[in-house]
Structure 1
């Protein structure tokens, strides 16, 4: 079995299940740390800052994490905007996305003209937000979505997420957005650049074939699917491209 110098790791379903701890996940990270192997948590969540994600891992799941070990779809979006020389942004999103954009010097506007419209999850969304985004895109702004997730697990069930908001805007504009988060190659390339990772020595770890594993496949890196969350062996067996490795638990993985 190949040994890797950098692990890119999903969160919900891989490191924890909602508020539930996964003991094998904590032990897995401890084994990585003991072996001196680098890891970076890669998440589609744009609503929280890296510091908030790190605090949640540390305080609620016993996985001691520094903010620099977390890479969000907001940070990947910033990298894309910088490469595209975007200056002004009309944003739909919460404070995690807003903080990332402001910290990197983007001019946040509330109406057209704008260089780009960036859409993340916004649980305080109102119709006027959709109207302003639609008008800006129809006036020529780039249409960028932090992640394609259509639903968000909650205590009430599966509620609308970023992809659902983006779909409304896409319908109104007839413009297909640039999608940053998993399974897009964009977030993986940005995360590897952030981590100074060699793709040939990097592996993506996750519980969801349709996001985590496809993201690794699109980025042409090895993948490890752990059956601790969403995907099932029966469903994955039907996929045309298989993960590089699969395990029932991260306790079964040899570094």
Structure 2
């Protein structure tokens, strides 16, 4: 690792790195403050497509964490950018919340259930049987199937919740059609984040708490990767994977002095 260039840009996951179950992780506030003072490019990434960057900025501010909305990159934004690049001015039937619908509107998409180009599945806490049935029929009629992220479960204060990947599996079972997942671990999300931040992969680092999303997508995008142990991954889990992070640290607090 000695020949790696100094880190000039930082990408960091949100849940498990900066916050845990609605509470800031010790050191997160200081890490973010030092990042902003340094002037180095950075983005906070999340596979959660429910909220807009403005929503997330306000939620983080309520926890005492200062992250401007233009420093937040979501799977909804990555999905909207991808669809805009693939089929500008297209149409989509969307199952999701404001974070996804707003991103698609801003990308110039028309949301409709009449012969859409795409069925786009995102995160929501209110999946309806009627909406899923509509999505299945539209895909069977030829709509392309896009999913914001493959996460099968998500955290909550009550325990795990079924997430986008689980619902996508239901639709795939009913249609025989596999979705294209845009969010992590697809390195596409990382490359778009780097472009948004004005950063370069050879001098950037990705901080995350999951080997199967954060670390692998950072690695495949050519970045250094830092695994923190404040989320879903225990030290013994690292050895189970065929790839390794550049570094493993206890928490985000261990990185404050490196900015």
**Does the residue aligned with 1:225 lie in a helix, a strand or coil?**
strand
Tell me, yes or no, if structure 1 residue 156 matches structure 2 residue 158. Answer: yes
The offset of 1:29, in angstroms, is: 1.5
Counterpart selection for 2:217 from 215, 227, 230: 215
Runs of at least 4 residues off by over 6 Å: none
CA RMSD of aligned residues (A): 1.4
Where in structure 2 are the equivalents of 1:158-237 lying within 5 Å?
A: 158-237=160-239
**Does the residue aligned with 2:155 lie in a helix, a strand or coil?**
strand
Give the aligned length: 253
Residue 97 of structure 2 corresponds to: 94
The offset of 1:110, in angstroms, is: 2.2
Asked if the contact 1:114–1:141 (Cα under 8 Å) also holds between the matched residues in 2, the reply is yes
**Does the residue aligned with 1:8 lie in a helix, a strand or coil?**
strand
**Bigger relative contact order, structure 1 or 2 (CA pairs below 8 A, ≥6 apart):** 2
The offset of 1:4, in angstroms, is: 1.3
Counterpart selection for 2:34 from 19, 31, 34: 31
User: Counterparts of 2:239 and 2:52 in 1: how far apart (Å)?
Assistant: 36
The offset of 1:212, in angstroms, is: 0.9
The offset of 1:176, in angstroms, is: 1.1
Where in structure 2 are the equivalents of 1:235-246 lying within 5 Å?
A: 235-246=237-248
Where in structure 2 are the equivalents of 1:111-126 lying within 5 Å?
A: 111=114, 113-126=115-128
Asked if the contact 2:81–2:107 (Cα under 8 Å) also holds between the matched residues in 1, the reply is no
Counterpart selection for 2:54 from 51, 56, 61: 51
User: Counterparts of 1:43 and 1:165 in 2: how far apart (Å)?
Assistant: 19
The offset of 1:161, in angstroms, is: 0.9
Asked if the contact 2:230–2:251 (Cα under 8 Å) also holds between the matched residues in 1, the reply is yes
The offset of 1:104, in angstroms, is: 2.1
Which runs of no fewer than 5 residues in structure 1 stay unpaired?
A: none
- The Cα offsets for residues 196-233 of structure 1, whole Å up to 9 and x where unpaired, read as 21111111011111111111122121101111111111
Residue 108 of structure 1 corresponds to: 111
User: Counterparts of 1:209 and 1:6 in 2: how far apart (Å)?
Assistant: 20
User: Counterparts of 1:10 and 1:94 in 2: how far apart (Å)?
Assistant: 20
- The Cα offsets for residues 135-179 of structure 1, whole Å up to 9 and x where unpaired, read as 211222111000111112123321111111111111111111110
User: Counterparts of 1:210 and 1:217 in 2: how far apart (Å)?
Assistant: 11
User: Counterparts of 2:217 and 2:198 in 1: how far apart (Å)?
Assistant: 18
- The Cα offsets for residues 84-109 of structure 1, whole Å up to 9 and x where unpaired, read as 11500010111111111112221100
Note closer, same or farther for the CA distance 1:233–1:182 as it changes in structure 2 (3 Å cut): same
The offset of 1:6, in angstroms, is: 1.1
Which runs of no fewer than 5 residues in structure 2 stay unpaired?
A: none
